[in-house]
Amino acid sequence: MKERALTAAGEWLLGLPERDRDIFLVRLSRYWRDLVEGLRPPYGGREDFEAFVIGLVESLTESYVARPEDLKKLDLRRMLEPGWFQDERTVGYVLYTDLFSGDLKSLPERLPYLRELGVTYLHLMPLLATRKGENDGGYAVSDYRKVEPRLGTLDDLREVCRSLREAGISLCLDLVLNHTAREHEWAAKARAGEQEYQEMYLTFPDRKLPDAYEATLPEVFPETSPGSFTYDAEMGRWVWTTFESYQWDLDWSNPKVFCEMAGVLLYLANTGVEVFRLDAVAFLWKRLGTDCQNQPEAHDLLQALRACSRIVCPAVVHKAEAIVSPDDLVHYLGTGERHGRESDLAYHNSLMVHYWSSLASRDVRLASRALARFPEKPSGTAWATYLRGHDDIGWAITDEDAAAVGLSGFAHRAFLSDYYSGSFPGSHARGAVYQENPLTGDRRISGTLASLAGVEAALEANDERLLDLAVGRILLGYALMFGYGGVPLMYMGDEISLTNDRSYLKDPRKARDNRWMHRPPMDWKKAGRRSDPRGVEGRVFRGVVELVAARKRTPHLNAAAPTHVLETGHPHVLTYIRSHPLGTLVGLHNFTEDTQYMNAGLLRHQGMEEFYDRISASPLRPDWKDDLVLSPYGSLWVTAPPKPDPHIH
């Protein structure tokens, strides 16, 4: 089959220069195994399997022929540095286009701001055409090959990609794999009775199978969209709707779905998208009697999709959006036979959760326990680290980890929901409960970084001391996110401490979803005060910029350098080491409003005799007790003193 595919591809490429033909055929041969081994488990039992694979290769060839020359040059550069996204100089920023710049055409005007912040990776939240009315924040796509009209056009997206690329910024875009909007062309044809398109979705004539599946399915949105199936009167069938009733789950057991979605990915890659956030990947494959998450075939499909990118557009990397347990999560980066062959990036949800948990409790022992046992990732991949995103915060803390440090997992999760909703006595947070599940007691939290960290409460109280502590919590989080390992992602407005926006309550399309409170529009008036060291905006912005600069001058923070959390027994200081050929970096983070001390013997045990803080770019000297001093909410990235560069005179 491989020889037949190579021969056929060679014929389809006859119109290209010989160099281009050779490059494609070499990549097809190199990633053939990844492609076919990914496709065989879900589709290998079909009689038409070989024809399906040959047809897919033809589609890949067509995408390669259509790839613009400047992007082919980018492919060649990235093949020479496949770990480009792991670089310590990589710093990410996440935004909604309309809330940041109004539309795509206006976005390049804000490039000076992004460059000032040190951004090299820009994630534009969902901007593909979506259904009218409620659309889950853009995740109910009605057309994958069009931009939402109020945001611009595909030509505008191409221009944005070009402008960003010239500025040294890679663009990340969401690609929703699990479902489409009910209004998508495929769903419309399914509702019209076309069997070919009904077979692209999971639909049922009665409740027999839906009831059997729901016996083991958890509810994602128990308050607003209970259950996992919706009756569509127009089609006269039940439709699998894992999330909202207007989001129809695709049937990935149908190879037509794979071909269509691979085609969409490559089409968007040819506009200049360099990173794809693959949404809801844990839900792709359904199996009766399970929770229909993290099934083996989902991993096979992601490996095959990555192979498609490597063949056509190797400049592109894949980021898996899988908010699952650590033991399940690491597999989305490829383990075992799929080692390093599945996704390039995945979200480190646990780091985010334990940042907030440790802030509330002022105790890092639970975080140290959980993070020390976190599975090690493949060396050629990276975590995406973050303090919060566009979604709510769920308390993914296991009963086992909690019990190991003398806590009740249920009680601690309840405490965190109380604390960050502001109902716990003495809480500094101003968040809100999202999607309370009365059956499980699960309560998630909405709120901006600033409001959850105490800025909103401090401003309400007009208390400068409380504001100092809130700024400290924010900068502690950034130091942890930048130093821990991976691609750090800042959310729009957090760098100028934007607080909760409650204007969403006036919009009927948003009023029932309080996640909109932590999606405020960018306040450019506040951003204009970022140079004022007296205001909260300037204090946070300056602190973030200084941390970005420190990260970029610290090679130990390359994502290829492994991270190991040390369980030192210190209840208040989270400690980890980054192992690098230039030596070890020790990260120390104080999660309290009090000064803390760490014995310097810990650093000597890592082979250091002299100490240097990479954040402040200054030597460190222990006090008379041989302790390092950490200020309230203070952070240190400690290495041996850097050697002078012999090339600098």
pLDDT in tens, 432-447: 999 888 878 899 999 9
pLDDT at 392 over 60: yes
Tell me, yes or no, if 321 is annotated catalytic: yes
CA distance 161 to 85: 17
- Residue 83's pLDDT band, with cuts at 50, 70 and 90, is very high
Backbone φ/ψ region at 310: left (φ over 0), alpha (ψ -120 to 50), beta: alpha
pTM: 0.95
Angle at 222 between CA 216 and CA 223, to 5 degrees: 170
- Residue pair 526/496 in contact (Cβ under 8 Å)? The answer is yes
Token representation of residue 404: 């190991």
| pLDDT tens digits along 142-182 | 999 999 999 999 999 999 999 999 999 999 999 999 999 99
DSSP 458-472: HHHHT-HHHHHHHHH
Amino acid at 103: D
Q: What was the pLDDT predicted at 159?
A: 98
Q: Among all chains, which residue has been given the structure tokens 């009689």? A: 47
Question: Among 251, 321, 494, 495, which one carries the catalytic annotation?
Answer: 321
Structure tokens at 599: 């014995």
pLDDT score, position 380: 93
The model's pLDDT over 273-319, given as tens digits with 9 standing for 90+, comes to: 999 999 999 999 999 999 999 999 999 999 999 999 999 999 999 99
Annotation marks residue 279 as catalytic: yes
Q: pLDDT per residue over 547-563, tens digit each?
A: 999 999 999 999 999 99
Query: What percent of the chain lies above the pLDDT cut of 90?
Result: 89
Catalytic residue among 34, 279, 344, 537: 279
Q: Is the pLDDT of residue 372 over 80?
A: yes
Cβ distance 401 to 369 under 8 Å?
yes
CB atoms within 10 A of CB 210: 21
Give one DSSP letter per residue of 241-276, joined into a string: -SS-TTEEEB-TTSHHHHHHHHHHHHHHHTTT--EE
* pLDDT tens digit sequence for 471-500: 999 999 999 999 998 999 999 999 999 999
Q: How confident is the model at residue 647 (pLDDT cuts 50, 70, 90)?
A: low
Q: pLDDT tens-digit profile of 27-76?
A: 999 999 999 999 999 999 999 999 999 999 999 999 999 999 999 999 99
Q: Which amino acid is at 599?
A: N
Report the pLDDT value the prediction gives residue 649, as an integer from 0 to 100: 43
Quote the pLDDT of residue 645.
63
Asked if 406 contacts 433 with a C-beta cutoff of 8 angstroms, the reply is no
